[in-house]
Amino acid sequence: MDGNMFLGNYKHSVDKKNRVKLPSNLRRKVVDDSLILTKGENNQITVFTHESWENYISPIKEKALHNKNYKIYLRAIFASAEEVSIDSQGRIRIPPELSSFSKIDDEVIIVGIDQIIELWNPDNYEKEMVEVDEKLAEYHDYIAKEEGFLK
């Protein structure tokens, strides 16, 4: 990635070949012609650039040599990971296993989160955001306290 962040959320349709078009402002920030997709922790698909994948995976790989939990997690995300190409129309194909896992069918919510992108089933995303919105102040206060913003 070129140092820019992925931002925003977008609702897009998924075609019959399980392809989704990435929004142009997200696509512009991808320097490679492929992305890595894997299972996310809330039944969403997490999308990495090659650089963000390496940044995420490197410390986990290091600890997996000596920690069973890290090794199990590493195995799970590598087993579900797939590299997908961005076609000439800016689309990526969602692999069937990941589509089934995330319950993404004919529509998808695409969310930019700094160095990654998430792909969500619209109903699951809405439920997640209702819960997040209800607890946003609590999350803010926790982070502010942890980071020393609040004394």
Give 24-62 pLDDT, tens digit per residue.
999 999 988 999 999 999 999 999 999 999 999 999 999
**DSSP, residue by residue, 92-103:** EEPPHHHHHHHT
User: Per-residue pLDDT for 2 more than 80?
Assistant: no
Residue 111's SS3 state is: strand
Beta bridge partners of 78: none
Residue type, 43: N
| pLDDT reported for residue 4 | 75
Domain ranges of the chain: 9-121
- Tell me what pLDDT residue 151 has: 55
- Is there a contact between 73 and 39 (Cβ–Cβ < 8 Å)? no
- pTM of the complete model: 0.89
For residue 14, the SS3 value is strand
22: pLDDT confidence band, cut at 50, 70 and 90?
very high
Contacts of 42 (CB under 8 A, 6+ apart): 124, 128
| pLDDT tens figures, 104-129 | 999 999 999 999 999 999 999 999 99
Candidate CATH numbers 3.40.1550.20, 3.30.70.270, 3.40.50.300, 3.30.70.260; the one for domain 9-121: 3.40.1550.20
| Local structure of 84: helix, strand or coil | strand
Tabulate helix, strand, coil % of the chain (nearest 5): 40, 25, 30
